[in-house]
Chains A and B, each alone.
Chain A
């Protein structure tokens, strides 16, 4: 039986791979926001495939502990999650995952957010409350994110300051407007997230370099 080959175990780069095609490195971003705010539209506007839906069983851990087993009570729920992808180049592929609309699915989000480059929190100004769960979550997990108002038709950005005030989000969190139906607009919104992520990663690596004694460590 031939053991399967994983990237970290393949030192001989020149040798022919056991599998015909080497898969790209997958990276992901998370598209969050309340129900019906335009998450799937956003994904669909820029994804190279029509958004796919997968059902995932998620586990919610109830507060408190079951007396008999001394383990937290758990319930399993099935949620639908939409996603799409963009091939950056043959070796790099970006996945866009929409969070399930309901805010209580904390565990699902951990699964989604682990290793994500960043998050886009979509806001509908008619229902600002819907985005708090996502904002709090990304802040807590220290995931770089941008809050993006889906402007649909006619709305302009003249009330951006009011929205920021109403949302009560920190000044350093970028607040932008975009149109989920427009490909270029979605692209720019994702770029805003990635530029923030780059900025953060850059300053983190500078801090690391400054802190490393002699600069010899990795």
Chain B
């Protein structure tokens, strides 16, 4: 069974590497996603600014998750974008896309896909403009 083989390979490789800690690049991206390169959604890829946030169930069941999946749920207690997750966990963006969809399908993560029409929304544009105008020339120094 091809699936079983892939799973076994994944376990064999991610196990020791993860125990060494802090060296995610040692694991090839396709191993993390068990060879999948596209998510469950067949439609266009989830935008990289899409916000993801852990669900209460996800946080509760976090210890049962392995490696990258657990890291994602732990990190996303605070909502953030797929791009931030990828950068902070040093994972490929497309790996994060696949894993986020996995975690969403098991109810551990909410993936808040937004309407791309927002870019043409006048009220949103005005809010961004007003928000930017409020930014002072010089950054306030924070203690």
Contact = CB atoms under 8 A, between A and B. Distances in A.
Contacts of B109: 4
Contact of B94 (A25, A56, A89, A187): A56
Interface string B70-84: 000000011111011
B118 interface: yes
Contacts of B48: 56, 97, 111-112
Interface string B101-143: 0001011011111111011111011111101110111110000
B139 A183 contact: yes
A131 interface: no
B125 A198 contact: yes
Contacts of A1: 106-107
Interface stretch (A64-72, A146-154, A167-175, A201-209): A201-209
A52 B88 contact: yes
A117 B119 contact: yes
A197 to B, nearest CB: 6
A183 to B, nearest CB: 6
A191 B83 contact: no
By secondary structure, the A interface counts as mixed
Interface of B: 29, 44-45, 47-57, 77-81, 83-84, 86-88, 90, 92-94, 104, 106-107, 109-116, 118-122, 124-129, 131-133, 135-139
A149 B108 CA distance: 46
Interface string A11-51: 00000001111111111100000000000000000100000
Candidate in A4, A53, A83 with the most chain B CB atoms within 10 angstroms: A4
A52 B80 CA distance: 13
A92 B110 contact: no
A201 B121 contact: yes
A216 interface: no
A102 interface: no
A5 B55 CA distance: 9
A26 B94 CA distance: 19
Contacts of A2: 55, 57, 107
By secondary structure, the B interface counts as mixed
Contacts of B129: 191, 194-195, 198
B137 A182 contact: yes
A20 B56 contact: yes
A139 B11 CA distance: 47
Contact of B53 (A21, A46, A53, A57): A21
Nearest to A94: B128
A6 B111 contact: yes
A65 to B, nearest CB: 20
A57 B49 contact: no
A160 to B, nearest CB: 23
B135 A86 contact: yes
A23 B135 contact: no
16 contacts: A2-B57, A7-B112, A18-B57, A19-B55, A27-B49, A56-B86, A81-B83, A83-B87, A89-B127, A92-B128, A92-B131, A111-B45, A183-B138, A183-B139, A191-B129, A195-B129
B128 A4 contact: no
B118 A97 contact: no
Given A23-B52, A95-B81, A111-B45, 12 more contacts: A7-B112, A19-B55, A25-B118, A26-B50, A26-B51, A54-B87, A86-B131, A92-B124, A183-B138, A194-B128, A194-B132, A201-B125
